Structure 1
Amino acid sequence: MQKQKLVIASNNSGKLREIGHLLEPLGIEVLPQSAFNVPEADEPYQTFVENALAKARHASAHTNLPSLADDSGICVDALKGKPGILSARYGGEPRSDERNNQKLIDVLKNQSDRRAHYYCVIVLLHHAQDPQPIIVDGTWYGEIALTPRGEGGFGYDPYFFLPDLDKTAAELPMEQKNRISHRGKALAQLVERIREEWV
């Protein structure tokens, strides 16, 4: 049986690995938008869900394939939810995990409240004009550590501390992270919805 192709509106290799790993058992072949030379979509909106929809429609319109986009970021309580939708560009352009993390630590070093959560919303479209996208989301609570720990993950993971596990996200094995992370929770819901509505 031929695999269903699905274009991912991202070129982030960490994200592509995570998503591909979960969707492969459903007979879905995950392809990055870079494989089709799709330019990056604008993300002009103030909410994760609107930006994810814009990215998914953009990728689907350029490829004529079903598309999946996620928009995710880290939201810090003391910063009223920032960096939020600007998480990937928090330290300026070009994007740099190192600069993003440095800016966050600089802003928080005198803060006693360093509670934070990762948030992820995933949008799946049959086609660019799909009026009924599948939308799922997930949240992962923790706090910001001022010193990094761990070699795994990406983004803010070395600074995202999980008090109940006494580890940062970057110290978790990928299997465990995929089960409990914001993206893992959203993808678990997505897999169920795909089983019910697609396969």
Structure 2
Amino acid sequence: MTVEPLRVMVMEDDLIHAQRLTAEVRECGHVVVGPFADVHEAIQIAGSVQAAILDVAARTEGCFWVADTLRHSDVPFVFLTDAGPGAIPRRFKGHRTYPRHRHAAPLLDDLLGQRRVGIPEDDDAIQTIVVQMMQQSRRVMPDASSAERLVEATLQRAVAERSVRDGSAEVGPWLLHLLDQEYRMRGRSHLH
């Protein structure tokens, strides 16, 4: 089976490791975007890649900001660290972590598998639903802050109306419907 090359972002602040990892990704037939040591540059291109390998540097939390951006863009990623599982925040529980000196081939196999399978979705899992709400809100609002305010207002309304909700309706579609209503009725109020 022939695999189409992925555009893989590499975030690594150690020049020697970055060069080695970049060469290995290319040897496996994929396109390297980066490598990046700067968090801001990595965040700017995070939505334009198909996968990412992020080094967890002990002295900075920057790779986790990039990971948040990738997660919101549904881009699969893996972490590299020698610091152990405690170095990864709990919000990334379930994301794969590899030793820093591991060859890129298993990482790329993992990323390809994540792309094929996708992140398993449980329609009633609140995290999945909130991510869907944020994605929908970002499509209609002009900036991230107003999108967050729209979602927050929708969730507050949902809590207030939970007793009148039709128990047979699924939570996800109901919340997305409330988000749409909130946008149509009070979208402008969330701009500031």
Say yes or no: TM over 0.5: no
| TM-score, L = length of structure 2 | 0.33
Q: Which has the higher helix share?
A: 2
Q: Which has the higher strand share?
A: 1
Higher normalized contact order (CA 8 Å, seq sep 6+, divided by chain length): 1
| TM-score, L = length of structure 1 | 0.32
